[in-house]
Structures are given as structure tokens and as C-alpha cells.
Amino acid sequence: MTETPNRVQDVELVEKTRPYDGYFHIDVYRLRHRRFGGGWTEVMSREMFERGHATVVLPYDPARDAVVLIEQFRIGAYAAGIEPWLIEPVAGIVEAGETPEAVARREAIEEAGCELAELEPIATVMPSPGGCSEILHLFCGWVDSAGVGGIHGLAHEHEDIRAFVLPLDEALKRMAMSDFNNASTVITLQWLALNRQRLKKKWS
């Protein structure tokens, strides 16, 4: 496979400032870049939301053919005027010095009360590259879902997270009916649908 070249040299950064510096950051870039047809664009201004990178893991129990999902309040959904309690895979921010795999294992315990035996990489994606630098590291994790459920989360982070087990067939049916409206849920469930039999054999 031919590797796609990194064309960072085709971007000229004129100025970068940070007008907001809180838990998240807003950076403003003034830059120009080369055009496909030759030459350069005019200098433009682009705001960038900086929130760090994150890990997403979909815990899968091959013995029960079921997945562990969580439900929690999301401010983005509330601001968009849609149902603010979203059903998602486990996820968390990658802190300094952490690997994405370590975050997957930590967050599975914190958000769903379950331990992952093995991790299978799914993909590395950017959910909103037009205005955010965030990278998501997506995994599927082998779990024994017996007894998994209940309310979890860290009190000092104001987390109120409901974990539950859902048969994979039911999860896929709900996805097909557009019950899940966030990208990480759809991507990880679609990947699992394609890799289900292989993981059953591998993790049996």
C-alpha cells in the first residue's frame, strides 16, 4: 500500500493565538495553503477547538454475543436540541503519558465496572477535522459481561453513567433504525458486525 505523503510543507502558518485557555482551548490560526491547481490561497483565519485526544472502546462478550454500552448526558446534544442522553461505547481522554490502550482499560472500569481481557484495534479517526484537532483511537475489547450494569462514573467529574448489556443483534437492529446518533457507536458496531465471527473464534 502506498503511504499518503504528509503535505504540511504546503501550509504557511502566519500567526497562531489562543484567545481562550480553559479546560478546553480555542486557538486561532492565520494561514494559507497551496491550491490543487497551483499557487497559494489568500491568508485566511480558522478557529480551532482543542480538547486533546480520546480513546473509545466497545466491550464485546463473545460467549454471550453481547456488547456493553453506556448512557450519559452530553452537552453537545443538548445544545443541538436533540435527546441529550446518548448511548455510546466506553470512552475517555488520553492524558499525558498514557497510551490509548491504557485509557481503554481504565475507562472500562470507571464507566462500566468491567475489565477487558484483550483489545482489538479498530481505527484511528478524526470526528470533526473542520474545526477540532481531536483524534479518536477506536478499539473493541474482550469482556465477560456477567454481572455488568448499574450506575458508574467519577463523582468529582460529575459523571452519572448507566452501563448495560445489550445482545449484539439487538444493538445492530437499533443502529439500523437510527437509534444511535453518535459516530463512535455506529463505527464500532459496524466494525464488530464485520468482525463478529473472527472475534468469536479468536476469543472463544
The mean pLDDT values, 10 residues at a time, for the chain of 204 residues are 76 96 94 96 96 96 98 94 96 95 97 97 95 96 96 89 98 96 96 98 93
- Does one domain contain both 46 and 66? no
Give the Å distances, CA to CA, from 33 to 12, 38, 43, 133, 137.
Answer: 6, 10, 8, 18, 28
Residue 125: per-residue pLDDT: 96
Cα 164 versus chain centre, distance? 19
Flag whether 84 is in a domain: yes
- Does one domain contain both 60 and 106? yes
- Does one domain contain both 44 and 125? no
User: 76: domain CATH number?
Assistant: 3.90.79.10
End-to-end CA gap in the chain: 32
Residue 164: per-residue pLDDT: 98
Residue 113: per-residue pLDDT: 96
- Residue/partner pairs of 32-38 with CB below 8 Å, 24 or more apart: 34/7, 34/10
- Does one domain contain both 173 and 187? yes
Give Cβ neighbours of residue 158 (< 8 Å, ≥ 6 apart).
none
Range(s) of the domain holding residue 35: 8-50
Flag whether 38 is in a domain: yes
Cell of 44: 485566511
Which entry of 12, 157, 159, 170 is annotated as an active-site residue? Answer: 157
- Does one domain contain both 130 and 164? yes
- Does one domain contain both 163 and 179? yes
Residue 3: per-residue pLDDT: 64
Flag whether 1 is in a domain: no
- Does one domain contain both 37 and 67? no
Number of domains making up the chain? 2
- Does one domain contain both 44 and 66? no
Residue 130: per-residue pLDDT: 93
- Does one domain contain both 176 and 115? yes
Residue 2: per-residue pLDDT: 57
- Does one domain contain both 106 and 139? yes
- Does one domain contain both 112 and 63? yes
Flag whether 125 is in a domain: yes
Calculate helix-pair angle for 168-176, 183-202, nearest 10 degrees: 150
Flag whether 33 is in a domain: yes
Flag whether 2 is in a domain: no
Residue 31: per-residue pLDDT: 97
Give the residue from 107, 105, 106, 114 showing the smallest Cα distance to 164. Answer: 114
- Does one domain contain both 83 and 181? yes
Flag whether 3 is in a domain: no
Is 101 one of the catalytic residues? Answer: no
> Which amino acid does the sequence have at 189?
L
